Amino acid sequence: MADIDISLYNTVTEGKATILFPKSNEVFYNPVQEFNRDMSIAAIRTWSEMFLQEKRDRINKKLVKAKTEEERAKMNEYLEQQINPNNFNILEALAATGLRSIRYAKEIPNLRQVVANDLLEDAVESIRRNTIYNQLDENLVRANKGDAMRVMYDTVGTEEKYDVVDLDPYGSASPFVDGAVQAVSEGGLLCVTCTDLAILTGSMHPETCFGKYNGMPLKRTFPHEMALRLLLQQLQTSAGRYRRYIVPMMSCSIDFYIRVFVRVYTSPNEVKKAASKIGVIYECSGCHSFAIQPLGKIDIKDNGSERHTPGSGPPVGQFCEHCGNTHHIGGPAWIAPLHDKTFVSNMLQHVKNNEKDYGTNVRMKGMVSVIQEELDEPCYWTLQRICGTLHCTSIPMLDLYSALLNAGYKVSGSHCNPQTLKTNAPASVVWDVLRAFIKKHPVTMANISENSPARKILAKEPSFEVDFTRHPDAKAESRNCVRYQVNPTANWGPKARAGKKQKTVHESSKAEQEEPSVEK
Ligand SMILES: [Zn+2]
């Protein structure tokens, strides 16, 4: 450490890492991202336990079948190796200062190596400096100067894959996806951040979203879940080209970005199912009812084999059956589950068992708890939209949940937003519950315009006896946690992309890596 002049740097400690940032940089460290890094470490640790156990199970199975002593001894030796530490590696493709990689190296057990890659010499220097400062072996954190796409494409056709590929760009991860889905090992974990939510949620320029993610956003009611589903669709579509498929472990909408953790496998048979996991989503432009149109359908034949056919539809008429308006179309998007419930529950347990390892553990437990309770049904209603559409007073969440539960349907919230309803009840049932609620809490019809969706919906009588009796499952267990974050700091959000005069290592390297084809 003798050759590092500490006086030139500010230090920031996060988790077990202390990082040196040059004092000359004004924009250097974004504390809001600590949550992203904490979640990533917990996710990778959770995945690694599953990954290593699966490896051992596979070898054990073979061990049982081993015929000769010699074969058995060989297998045992191999098993021993697998049980030993130093078992997997990570690529951080856009590593910038190296803070994330250094935390990975210090906080993730059984890690053989993390390759911290960046395009810029300054960034690579920073990674090396911080590796030394944190007294880490340079083999454990290998700083690499390279174009992220080249580094990932270099793995194609080789056995030298990365067990974890982490993409945490400034902006969209989209340009890196094709390389990433090929660079991750069998059953490995792909972690992807996108911070370009203005694009992904369609708050402006939906056509730009289509250009980047090959899907149309829906901005009105469930923009953040839609953003997750567009990204997952892109990951699957890219993986499918290489006979690979994704299994989402956990998909999170956090503050000003989204972060997904998916496992990647190879199987042409599973790729065939992708058409049924991807679909188009219709959202009524008047009452915001929504319906899902899968692109493909799987029938199980008498002999148990699967038959794939085009999906049948559409699930909506030309005009909304509830209010008579037209629909907006979103997608194609991922319509299969966003999370793997076993993974989520393992991760929640892991965080509870290791609270002291995570500075943001309170929020982690809150978010993962809500995710654990989330139904797999795509998209959600928001209280604000439902009551806004009908111009009625806000229905208490517990009343809405209870009425649907009492009618035999499932309900949950969404981690994307407080005051949300996910349910397997059809839209007609949700409107029936509201019709019954409004009978008790009347709406002043004089204030509602002639063509309003509210008039069309409220002209009908509820089709069943709605029971608002408080249902025991209406109150989510996660309510005892910090479930939704208020803005953590004033003027929070992504750090501004640095101007030309004060371009920093972090900002410039990530921004420039967004154009991987440009030779620098
Ligand atoms: Zn409608």
Q: 285 CA distance to ligand 1 centroid (A)?
A: 6
Residue 215: closest CA among 225, 453, 226 = 226
pLDDT of residue 520: 27
Of the ranges 82-86, 255-259, 263-267, 508-512, which one carries the lowest mean pLDDT score? 508-512
Would you tell me how many other CB atoms lie within 10 Å of the CB of residue 90?
27
Residue 507 has pLDDT above 60, yes or no: no
* Domain assignment of residue 441, yes or no: yes
CA 507 to CA 504: how far, in whole Å? 5
* Domain assignment of residue 398, yes or no: yes
CA 447 to CA 204: how far, in whole Å? 31
pLDDT of residue 327: 98
Q: 459 CA distance to ligand 1 centroid (A)?
A: 14
Q: 327 CA distance to ligand 1 centroid (A)?
A: 8
Angle, CA 340 vertex, CA 334 and CA 345 arms, to 5°: 150
Report yes or no: 157 and 126 within 8 Å, Cβ to Cβ: no
Comparing 67 with 207, the larger pLDDT belongs to 207
Locate 427 and state its tokens: 């839209």
Name the maximum alpha-carbon separation found in the chain. Answer: 88
Only one residue has tokens 């009551």, namely 387
Proportion of the chain in helix, strand, coil states, percent, rounded to 5: 40, 20, 35
Of the ranges 265-279, 298-312, 488-502, which one carries the lowest mean pLDDT score? 488-502
pLDDT of residue 85: 64
- Section 73-99 average pLDDT: 84
Residue 434 has pLDDT above 60, yes or no: yes
The confidence band for 27, taking pLDDT boundaries of 50, 70 and 90, is low
Q: 283 CA distance to ligand 1 centroid (A)?
A: 8
pLDDT of residue 511: 38
Q: 282 CA distance to ligand 1 centroid (A)?
A: 10
Residue 431 has pLDDT above 70, yes or no: yes
End-to-end CA distance of the chain: 31
CA 104 to CA 94: how far, in whole Å? 14
pLDDT of residue 504: 37
Q: 380 CA distance to ligand 1 centroid (A)?
A: 15
CA 317 to CA 284: how far, in whole Å? 11
Using one digit for the tens of pLDDT, what is the confidence trace for 445-490?
A: 998 999 999 999 999 999 999 999 999 999 877 766 666 765 555 5
Residue 373 has pLDDT above 70, yes or no: yes
Q: 27 CA distance to ligand 1 centroid (A)?
A: 46
pLDDT of residue 56: 82
Locate 276 and state its tokens: 């049924």
420: domain CATH number? Answer: 3.30.56.70
CA 395 to CA 400: how far, in whole Å? 7
CA 487 to CA 475: how far, in whole Å? 25
Report yes or no: 208 and 199 within 8 Å, Cβ to Cβ: yes
Domain count, the chain: 1
Using one digit for the tens of pLDDT, what is the confidence trace for 177-208?
A: 999 999 999 999 999 999 999 999 999 899 99
Locate 214 and state its tokens: 């090959």
Would you tell me how many other CB atoms lie within 10 Å of the CB of residue 490?
5
Q: 449 CA distance to ligand 1 centroid (A)?
A: 15
417 by DSSP, 3-state: which? strand
Locate 498 and state its tokens: 């640095």
Q: Mean pLDDT score of the chain, rounded to an integer?
A: 90
Comparing 63 with 280, the larger pLDDT belongs to 280
Element housing 189 (H / E)? strand 184-194
- Residue 192 burial (C-beta neighbours within 10 Å; 0-12, 13-18, 19+): buried
Comparing 519 with 88, the larger pLDDT belongs to 88
- Section 335-340 average pLDDT: 98
pLDDT of residue 384: 95
Q: 411 CA distance to ligand 1 centroid (A)?
A: 21
- Section 388-404 average pLDDT: 96
pLDDT of residue 67: 83
Q: 82 CA distance to ligand 1 centroid (A)?
A: 56
CA 209 to CA 194: how far, in whole Å? 12
Report yes or no: 179 and 241 within 8 Å, Cβ to Cβ: no
Q: pLDDT exceeding 70 applies to what percent of the chain?
A: 90
CB-side neighbour CA atoms (13 Å) of 133: 25
Residue 148: closest CA among 170, 132, 126 = 170
Q: 493 CA distance to ligand 1 centroid (A)?
A: 34
Comparing 508 with 417, the larger pLDDT belongs to 417
Q: pLDDT exceeding 90 applies to what percent of the chain?
A: 78
194 by DSSP, 3-state: which? strand
What is the signed CA dihedral for 184, 257, 418, 462, rounded to 10 degrees? -80
Element housing 192 (H / E)? strand 184-194
pLDDT of residue 60: 82
CA 165 to CA 496: how far, in whole Å? 26
* Domain assignment of residue 288, yes or no: no
Peptide bond into 314 cis (omega under 30): yes
Would you tell me how many other CB atoms lie within 10 Å of the CB of residue 430?
21
* Domain assignment of residue 183, yes or no: no
* Domain assignment of residue 497, yes or no: no
Q: 50 CA distance to ligand 1 centroid (A)?
A: 44
CA 266 to CA 184: how far, in whole Å? 11
* Chain centroid, CA 315 distance in Å: 27
pLDDT of residue 481: 66
Peptide bond into 494 cis (omega under 30): no
Residue 338 has pLDDT above 70, yes or no: yes
Q: 212 CA distance to ligand 1 centroid (A)?
A: 29
- Strand-pair partners of 259: 193, 252
Report yes or no: 423 and 377 within 8 Å, Cβ to Cβ: yes
pLDDT of residue 513: 38
* Domain assignment of residue 436, yes or no: yes
Using one digit for the tens of pLDDT, what is the confidence trace for 275-305?
A: 999 999 999 999 999 999 999 999 999 998 9
pLDDT of residue 347: 98
Measure Cα distances from 106 to 90, 112, 135 in Å. 13, 12, 10
CA 49 to CA 206: how far, in whole Å? 40
Residue 261: closest CA among 247, 273, 272 = 247
* Domain assignment of residue 439, yes or no: yes
Which domain covers residue 388, as residue numbers? 379-473
Measure Cα distances from 120 to 23, 457, 520 in Å. 19, 59, 9
* Domain assignment of residue 385, yes or no: yes
Residue 51 has pLDDT above 50, yes or no: yes
Comparing 68 with 409, the larger pLDDT belongs to 409
- Helix spans in 317-382 (H): 341-353, 361-373
Using one digit for the tens of pLDDT, what is the confidence trace for 71-83?
A: 888 878 877 776 6
Q: 468 CA distance to ligand 1 centroid (A)?
A: 24
Amino acid residing at 519: E
Amino acid residing at 133: Y
Backbone angles phi, psi at 495, to 5 degrees: -60, 140
Residue 2 has pLDDT above 70, yes or no: no
The confidence band for 443, taking pLDDT boundaries of 50, 70 and 90, is very high
Q: What is the 3-state secondary structure (H, E, C) of 238-300?
A: HHHCCCEEEEEEEEEEECCEEEEEEEEEECHHHHCCHHHHEEEEEEECCCCCEEEEECEEEEE
